[in-house]
């Protein structure tokens, strides 16, 4: 059974940093692109970043470019999102998702809440 479990969320002050992790199991992690998607009550669902199978190619939404970095450890079946220079508008539930058909997300984790506030 495919399982994605995020961790690392919490309360952080504006300008601070957090590192999210996503532990994957139930499939061959290194065979799949992986994505981060976030959700806020006000803006709905927003794609954040993607990483290819071996970690050599990464892409980001304009809203996080230069501040967030996605990476993966295929030996440990883990996806990461390093978030720096956090802003109030980054407050959201962050989901780790597995890349499906050419860009859809066929499995989602339960999400981890990031709150940026002083």
Q: Tell me if 54 contacts another protein by CB under 8 A.
A: no
Which pair of structure tokens corresponds to residue 40?
Answer: 């806020």
Q: Which residues contact 30 (CB under 8 A, 6 or more apart)?
A: 53, 54, 74
| 3-state secondary structure at position 12 | strand
Kindly state the smallest distance separating residue 109's Cβ from another protein, in Å.
7
Q: Tell me if 66 contacts another protein by CB under 8 A.
A: no
Q: Tell me if 27 contacts another protein by CB under 8 A.
A: no
- Burial code (b: 16+ CB inside 10 Å, e: under 16) for 24-42 equals beeeebeebbbbbbbeeee
Among 21, 47, 53, 82, interactor with another protein by CB under 8 A: 47
Q: Tell me if 44 contacts another protein by CB under 8 A.
A: yes
Q: Tell me if 38 contacts another protein by CB under 8 A.
A: no
| 3-state secondary structure at position 81 | strand
Among 32, 50, 64, 86, interactor with another protein by CB under 8 A: 50
Query: Which residues contact another protein by CB under 8 A?
Result: 35, 44-47, 50, 59, 61, 95, 100-111
């Amino acid at each position: 059974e495919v399982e994605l479990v995020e961790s690392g969320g919490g309360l952080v002050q504006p300008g601070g940093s957090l590192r999210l992790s996503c532990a994957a199991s139930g499939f061959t992690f290194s065979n799949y692109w992986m994505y981060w998607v976030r959700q806020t009550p006000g803006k709905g669902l927003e794609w954040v970043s993607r990483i290819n199978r071996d970690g050599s190619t990464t892409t980001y939404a304009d809203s996080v470019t230069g501040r967030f970095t996605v990476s993966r450890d295929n030996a440990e079946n883990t996806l990461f999102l390093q978030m720096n220079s956090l802003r109030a508008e980054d407050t959201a539930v962050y989901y780790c998702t597995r890349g499906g058909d050419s860009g859809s997300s066929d499995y989602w984790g339960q999400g981890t809440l990031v709150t940026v506030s002083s």
